[in-house]
Each structure stands twice: as C-alpha cells, then as structure tokens.
Chains A and B, each alone.
Chain A
Amino acid sequence: MQTTPAHTPVQPPIDPAAVRARVLEIIVRCLDCKPASLSMNSSLWGELGAESLDMLDIVYSLERAFVIRLPRLNLFQRTSNLFGADTVVVNGVITPVGLELMRRSMPEVRAEAFHQNMRIQELRQLVTVESFARIVLRCLAAKAALRCRLCGGMPAPVPDSPMELVCAECGASIDLPSGEELMMADLVRIGAELGLTPAAARETTTGAPA
C-alpha cells in the first residue's frame, strides 16, 4: 500500500545566479545601503564599513532566507584551530603556508591579494559579497544531498517552523548540515593538498606512548 508522505519534500534546483542575487539583496538590506553601491566584489569590512554586528545580522538573515546553517568561526579561527596558530600566523603576520591555506579557501579573491607579510587584520578586508555567496552555495549543495538517515527519504520543511526539516517519508527529524563542519571538511582537504595534518591528529600520532 502506498502511504501519503506527511510532508511535501522540497528540492528546488540550485540556481547560482539567483542565489548570488538574493545574497546581494540581503546584504544590501542588512547594511542599509543603496543597491547600486554594492557589487559581488564589494569588501564588506573595507568599502562598506560593516561592523561585527552587521556580519552577524547577515549570517542570521542568510540562514533564514536559505534555510541553512552557516559557520560562525572566521577563516583565521578555523585554520588556527585545525592546524595550530603557529602554522598560520607568526607575530601577527600570516605565514606562507597560512597564505596558501587562505588563498585556496577563498577562491573568489584575486590570488595577488594574499601578499607576502600580510597581517592577520588585513584578512577580513578580503571578505566580499561573493565570499558569502560561495559559502551559501556550499551549504545549499550539502542540503540538496541531504537524506533521512533512517529510510533515505527526502527532507521536507516543517510548517510554521522554517529552520526545521523532517523526512517526507517517515517523519523523522533531519538536521540541517552544519556550515562549520562543511567548512572544516573543506579546510582539511585543502590542508591535505598542502601536506598539512590537523593539529589534533598530530597530537594523537605523536603523543607519548602509554
């Protein structure tokens, strides 16, 4: 007997151009600026004078608009946590390895923007509207691949609870992919390309024998 799903699954195709346009629109609203003053390459901290609360506002707004979970840590925090602060920055200056990690993690930024003797404070000047669009697209792709762990069913939204998903087949709760974990997985992959091992793994393998 065929059962009727309790919820209607939604799996809209991802249209990168539409996502970018929506990201731009949301950031315009969050920064209360004129649309004409903003492009995908606008630097939020630099050109647009965004403050930390604005960044949080953008994150919250994007999460609700796209029903995704964005990361909370910035790239410097993430790379430091993963590979150790000394690997990434020495005396406030980003190391060559750190620069390469950042460059590969932010493909939307011109490679020459990651210059020698770059100080860590300069990094945030490179965050653009496109940076947010990239992360949103990454989270959307992960969400599109999401299936119920119990029955493999498609996720469906919960009426009146926009940030919750349930399985359209069995009704089990489905967690949205964690943006933090996605970014971390990407960074592990990039680190591996550069021959870097996460600090925790290094400690495990080099720890004193019992």
Chain B
Amino acid sequence: MTSLFRLTIATMLARKMWAVVLLASILTPIIFPLLTPYETNTALLEPARAQTAWTCTWIVAILWTLSQAARFGESNSNSGMGSYFRSQGVGALRQIFALWGAVMLSLLPVVLISVAVCLIFAMPADPKEASMWVWTNLQFATLLLLAIGPLALLGVGASSRFGALIGYVVPTGLCLYGLYGVTYLGMTIRLRDDNKILEWLYALSPQYHLADLTPRLIFKMGHLPWPEFSGFLLYFLAITVVASSLATLLFRTDPLGN
C-alpha cells in the first residue's frame, strides 16, 4: 500500500497543479476582498476574507480533488498498476484506500490554509467572538473533509470501472446537488403541500449544505451547538459508510473487471 500511496503522491507533485492550488488558496482570500469597494465598510473585509477562503476551498475540492480522484482511479485500472500491485498481494481494498489517502492528503493543506487565513487575517478582535471563530473554522474544516472524503472515494471507485468522466461527474453532481439543489428542493416542498415523492427524495438526498458553515462565518453566528454538530458528524459518517461501500464494490484493479 505504501508504494502505491507514494507513487500517487509523487504523481501529484509531478503534475505541479498543487503549486497553483496552494498559491490560489493563500492569495485569493487576501487579494479578492481588496478588489471590492471595502472602504465603504472596512468591518466587512474580514468576513469577506473568510468567505473567499472557504469558497476557494470548496472550489478546489470539487474541481481539483474530485478530478484527481477520478484520474487516479482510472489510471490505476488501465495502466497495469492495479494488476501489478494485486499480483504482489495488495488487494483492491488496500489499493482504493492508498489512492484515496493520497488524494485527500493533498486537500488537507488547502483546508489548513483556509483555517489559517481565517485565524490570521480575519480573526475578530472581541475575545468571545474570537473563541467562537476558532471553533467555527475547526467545525467547518471537519465537516468539509467529511463531505468531500466519501465523494473522492466514490470517484476513485467509479472511475476505475466506468472511466474518469463518470468518476468525476457523478461525485461532483452529487456534491453540487447536496450543496445547492437540495435547498431548492426543500423550498419546492414547502410551496407544494403533501408531495410524498418529493419529501422522500429530500429525505434521501445528501445534505451537503450542512457542511457549509460559510453563513455562520459571514454573519458571525458562532459555532454550531455541540449536539447539532455531533448530529452532523453522525450524518456524514453514515454517508461515508454508504459511499465507501459503494466505492469499494465498484472499484476494480484492471480493465477486465477484477
């Protein structure tokens, strides 16, 4: 497993996209808010930085992390690497987690940069607010990783079987639907009373918007109450179990279906 993990990390480093991603993660939240007419209300500058930092992280996770997951899943299956490692006794489960681990490890610095930007460049002056700010950012980081992690695993699994396009489009579609589509579905249900199908669809939909704590940061609403946060954790862990099971069922180490 360590060899495949190391090879995946080496491949990502060689592609050099990580440099662009890290640079964008650092510079975007610092520079973009300065391009707005922030002079009219300088108090908005700090929440704007936090918003930009986390929006940038979501974009990186969706555009980069999920696409990397799809590429590695497909190439492991098609390049002969999956067969090679399996002949050495590295089974499918260890392979998928080696690929996934490397992909998620590449997202970790981006998440940490967002937290750091929020704590260094957007920290509230009030000590009570500052404490809440720290916890909100840590909760956000945890929930974002818990939301993207299973989607990346699904990407690796699906792309190894159906190709990189499917392996990218499906998790990305699920993520965007869970972030935005579900909210619109909820509004539709409220407008149309007693539509059981839509209600079931809503209940079964992945509620990824729960992992987006940007409004809490912008409006300084404080961190999630701990019981609520624990509930969110359990919800995303349940999604993790479902997505992991599906991903490992889909994953294959060679194009012939093994």
A-B complex is real:
no
